Structure formats: structure tokens, C-alpha cells
Amino acid sequence: MSGDVVSAFPFNKLVIFGVGLIGGSLALSLRERGATGRVIGVGRHAHAVERALELGVIDVATTLADEAALADALKGADIVLLAAPVAQTRTLLERIVPYLEAQTLVTDAGSTKSDVIDAARAALGARIAQFVPGHPIAGRESSGIEAALPDLYVGRNVVLCPLPENAPQAVERIAAMWRAAGAVTGTMSAAQHDRVFAAVSHLPHVLSFALVDQILASPDAELKFSFAAGGFRDFTRIAASSPEMWRDVCLANRTALLAELDAYTGELVKLRAAIDTGDGAALEALFARSREARTAWQERGGRRVADASPDK
């Protein structure tokens, strides 16, 4: 892993599909660190990219509906970033492949990787070597260009899942872009990535959404919400995330996520049994283990221990 921050990442043209929190924050970060290349924003809806243009995040705004502008946007592009919901990956790649030049690298910011790679292989075919799968582990409960921050990636992990076809210099080029934004980069296989993030990202989001929905469905929901305080706020913060994005993540990573849901259900069964039988010792032991693990994780800044490289 490397966390060396590059003062300025050299590029002539960066094309971002989906200039929201993720794509917008990358553009802002590279600009703040001295990048002078042009940033082109492409969106499904004109208002989103036009707002990014108004805020100075991008230099040119276009939409997927404008074929001529799309072709012009991709002409001479160094890097294309797909920062859209993962279910759109194949459609987006199929749209750009007729205009994709040989020197252009394509990467993504999707929270799942196996499905994204399958989509890329289907869309790009023999040109798959130009696609370097990636996942920046950064975000906020807010979405859209208004939520973008120039320091979103500082000290945060970015996982790349290189393909056998990728040239080493292509992988390094994408890694260098994220390091220039302040991130720490490393690699995993796609399968390992999806297992890990099913546990530490996808499952927590599902649980957060589920708790809010459970309370919402109760007859005294308004009363419960009126008394909800810090614990509820902290646990359910991520339930304010994009429903579209998390719908796609859950369906894309269903196998790994179902395994984690089953394991979590098993923990709930054990907790229920201990509560039902009044087994205070079992409850305290579980709570103590969890507290110790959570404290250790927090004390090292939420980062992995030194010998727990995702490459292993």
C-alpha cells in the first residue's frame, strides 16, 4: 500500500460520468493540488452537470443524450471515471466504446467489483485491458455535487482490483491519480473485495435501512422517532444514503451479502436466546469482545493493522 501524496497529477483530459459526491470530490481534489488538465462532466440529466459547471468543479458539461458532445468529450481523454451506480456500468461502457481511444484508461468507483468486471468484459471485449477496476472507500450520507469535498479522499483507502490483462503501468497510473487526491492505494482480487465489503459496508447499510423501516412500520412510529437520540442517530446515519445506489449494490453483491446476513442472523439468535434466558454472563462477554475490537479499530484510525494487507 502507498499513501504518498503527489503534488499534482498530470493529465490533459479527465472525463467523469456521474459528477456527484465521488466524481466531484475527485475533480475538486485534483484541482486543489494543482492539476491543470480539463475535466469533462457527463450526466444523465443536464441540471446535475450544469450545477457542477456553475460550482467550478468541471470545465465542460454534457449529457449522455448528446451523442456528438459525448464523442467530443472522449476525444483525447487520458482517463475516464465511471462514478455512477454499478448497475449502469455495462450501459455506460457500451455507449463510450465506439469513441474510446487506445490510450484512454477507464476506471470506476463502484462498491462491488465482480459484477462490474463482468459488465466491462461484456461491453469492452478485446479492449478490456483499458479498464482498471477500482473502489474509493470514502463517502458521506449526503450525495450529489453539493456534497463534494476536496479532502474527501485524504487518508482514505482506495482498492484496485487489477485484471490479468491490465498493464502494470495502467494500474499504476490509476493508483497515482487516487494518491494525488490524498488516498492510500492497494489491491485485492474482485472476489475478496466483494466478501470484505459485504461485511463492513453493505451489511451495515442494510441494517441501518432496516431499523428505520421497522420503526416506520410500527403504530407508534412518530412517538419513537420523537424520542430517538444519539444512539439512533449514529446507527442510522447511513440510512440517508442514496436508495438507488444501495439497491444496485445489494443486488450486485447478493451472494456475499446473503452470507453476511445469515451470519448476522445467527448472532441475533444467540443474543435473543441469552436475553430470553437471562444469561447476563453471555451478554456481557459478547459486549466486551465487541467493545474491545471496536476500540482497537478506532485507536488505529479505522485503518487495517500493518500485516493485514488486502493483497494477501
Instruction: Tell me the percentage of the chain whose pLDDT exceeds 70.
Output: 93
Query: How many CB atoms are located within 10 Å of the residue 117 CB?
Result: 19
C-alpha 112 chain-centroid distance: 8
Do 98 and 132 sit in the same domain of this protein?
yes
The predicted structure's pLDDT at residue 245: 86
Residues in the chain: 312
* CATH, residue 42: 3.40.50.720
Which regions of 103-246 does DSSP assign to beta strands (E)? 105-108, 131-132, 134-136, 157-160, 184-187
306 or 190: which leads in pLDDT: 190
Residue at a domain's end among 145, 160, 188: 188
Check if the beta carbon of residue 70 is closer than 8 Å to that of residue 50. Answer: no
CA 64 vs. chain centroid, Å, equals 22
Q: What CATH number is associated with residue 244?
A: 1.10.3660.10
Would you state the cell numbers that stand for residue 189, as one nine-digit string?
Answer: 482480487
Is 183 found in the same domain as 207?
Answer: no
Residue 244 structural domain: 193-299
Please report the pLDDT score of residue 302 as a whole number: 60
d(CA 278, CA 282): 9
Q: Which of 161, 188, 215 is the last residue of a domain?
A: 188
* Number of domains present in the structure of the chain: 2
CA angle 284, 305, 288 (to 5 degrees): 5
Distances (CA, A) of 214 to 140, 219, 221, 222, 284: 23, 10, 9, 12, 26
Q: Is the backbone of residue 182 left (phi > 0), alpha (psi -120 to 50) or beta?
A: left
Computed on alpha carbons and rounded to an integer, the radius of gyration of the chain in Å comes to 21
Same domain, 126 and 167: yes
Q: Are 238 and 176 in a shared domain? A: no
Domain finish residue from 134, 154, 188 = 188
In a shared domain, residues 81 and 144: yes
What is the predicted pLDDT for the residue at 36? 86
Residue 206 belongs to some domain of the structure: yes
Amino acid at 168: P
Assigned domain for 310 exists: no
34, 177: one domain: yes
Residue 259 contacts residue 198 (beta carbons within 8 Å) = yes
In the sheet that holds 134-136, the strands lie side by side as 134-136, 157-160, 184-187
Tens of pLDDT, residue by residue over 56-113, are 999 999 999 899 999 999 999 999 999 998 999 999 999 999 999 999 999 999 999 9
pLDDT of residue 303: 58
Q: Which of 22-26, 205-209, 241-245 has the lowest mean pLDDT?
A: 241-245
Cut 0.95: pTM above it: no
Residue 2 lies in a domain: no
8 inside domain = no
N-to-C CA span, the chain = 12
Asked whether residue 204 carries a pLDDT value surpassing 60, the answer given is yes
Please give the pLDDT value at position 203.
Answer: 97
pLDDT digits (tens, 9 = 90+) for 10-32: 999 999 999 999 999 999 999 99
Instruction: Please check whether residues 138 and 173 belong to one and the same domain.
Output: yes
Q: What value does the mean pLDDT take over residues 32-41?
A: 91
Place of cell 435501512: 209
Q: Does residue 304 lie in a domain region?
A: no
CA distance 35 to 8: 5
Q: Give pLDDT tens digits for 141-158.
A: 677 898 899 999 999 999
The Cβ of residue 52 has, within 10 Å, a number of other Cβ atoms equal to 27
Predicted confidence band of residue 215 (pLDDT cuts 50, 70, 90): very high
Position 304 scores a pLDDT of 52
Taken in order 296, 299, 302, 304, the sign of the CA dihedral is: negative
What's residue 139's pLDDT?
A: 73
Average confidence score pLDDT of the chain: 91
